[in-house]
A = this chain, B = another copy of it.
Amino acid sequence: MTHASHHLTLADIARHLGVTFEGDAALPIRGLATLKEATSDQVAFLTNRAYLKDLATTQAAAVLLHPEHGKSCPVPKLEMENPYLGYAKLSQLFDPLPARDKAGIHPTAVVADSVTLGEGVSIQAHAVVEAGVTLGDHVVVGAGSVVGADSVIGENTRLHANVTVCHGVIIGKRVILQSGCVIGGDGFGFAHDGEGWHKIAQLGGVVLGDNVEVGSCSSIDRGALGDTLIGDDVKIDSQVQIAHNVTIGAHSALAGCVGIAGSTKVGKHCMLGGGVGLSGHLTICDGVQVTGMSLVTNSIHTPGVYSSGTGAMSNSQWRKNAVRFKQLDDIAKRLSRLEKTTRDA
């Protein structure tokens, strides 16, 4: 379901991308689609060679592509060095949400007296904004979301529905929090007295930089004393757990189901694949990529790609091999002995 936006022409599209084109400037453009599915009022894009085969027969109004493919394009072309970036920029034009945001406070929202509100703030039905909160200009607080006492939210940040920002959390500008995420729940800290646990009150906060995104149902816990720190332009997918006092450097991206234990520091421009786990108190340098479902138990000081685990195979094949894993040390020792025997023979 691609939403229509009624007042855009092909010329608007090209202007938005900063490119020139040959074709009907007034052609109405109502959305984006793949080369194969695009109709005559949609713009398509070629960002992956696997779809080059669909270019010749596309019905799109125009195609966004790299200049190297321009000659093969049967319809008006929008050439860019990075057509995927162009696609990202165009996609924003067709997002139906901003047009729906109404500035103002819904009559059912509960907003404390001591709150500081910027211009054009939208606080939707049943949202709660507690005492001492500051909301920057054009902040959107979605239906059912709660912003805890003394939190500060920068301009143009959007909380979708049913988001929870706990007390004393600092959130930058242009941040997007998807539904169900929780920013600033207590970190997991307890002291043991020999018999049971005593809770350590989590007195730190969470600081999210500008342009951060947090996926649905993800958790970023508040620090024990200092803050949990998420740098600018960090992108966090759904179902992610970030424990107390973790630091994530700018521009890093964390895919779904990642879990990072307490006090670990992840550098800038890192990419963690889905389901990756990082132990606590590690340092991961800038520019590290970790492939899906890997477990990292030691610090990493060299940029590069890291992995663990093994891919799936048929269960019958796996059973035979997995049982041998428990014999690995024995196998290695027997091999060494045999090498020695053979050498000595």
- Residue positions of A touching B, CB distance < 8 A: 1-3, 31-34, 37, 82, 84-85, 87-89, 91-92, 94-97, 100, 106, 108, 110, 124-126, 128, 130-131, 142-144, 146, 148-149, 160-162, 164, 166-168, 170, 176, 178-182, 185-186, 188-193, 195-205, 211, 213, 215-219, 221, 224-227, 232-233, 235, 237-241, 243, 250-251, 253, 255-257, 259, 261, 274-275, 277, 279, 290-298, 300, 304-329, 331-332, 334-335, 338-339, 341-342, 345
CB <8 Å contact, A306 and B313: yes
CB distance from A221 to the nearest CB of B (A): 6
CB <8 Å contact, A162 and B144: yes
Chain B residues within 8 Å of A124, by CB: 128
CB <8 Å contact, A204 and B326: no
Chain B residues within 8 Å of A205, by CB: 1
CB <8 Å contact, B238 and A219: yes
Q: In the complex, which of the residues B85, B226, B293, B309 contacts A198, with contact meaning CB atoms closer than 8 Å?
A: B85
Q: In the complex, which of the residues B126, B201, B334 contacts A126, with contact meaning CB atoms closer than 8 Å?
A: B126
With A1-B205, A241-B256, A342-B342 as contacts: A324 and B314 at CB distance below 8 Å: no
With A203-B31, A219-B180 as contacts: A85 and B191 at CB distance below 8 Å: yes
Q: In the complex, which of the residues B125, B170, B182 contacts A180, with contact meaning CB atoms closer than 8 Å?
A: B182
CB distance from A211 to the nearest CB of B (A): 7
CB distance from A316 to the nearest CB of B (A): 8
- Complex alpha-carbon distance, A329 and B233, angstroms: 39
- Complex alpha-carbon distance, A324 and B336, angstroms: 13
Which 4 A-B residue pairings sit nearest by Cβ, starting from the closest?
A185-B216, A305-B315, A88-B191, A91-B201
CB <8 Å contact, B257 and A257: yes
CB <8 Å contact, A1 and B227: yes
CB distance from A288 to the nearest CB of B (A): 10
With A144-B162, A185-B180, A257-B259 as contacts: A88 and B274 at CB distance below 8 Å: no
- Complex alpha-carbon distance, A168 and B226, angstroms: 39
CB <8 Å contact, A311 and B307: no
Known contacts A219-B239, A309-B322; 10 additional CB pairs below 8 A are A1-B170, A97-B167, A142-B146, A144-B146, A178-B185, A217-B218, A237-B243, A295-B311, A305-B314, A309-B310
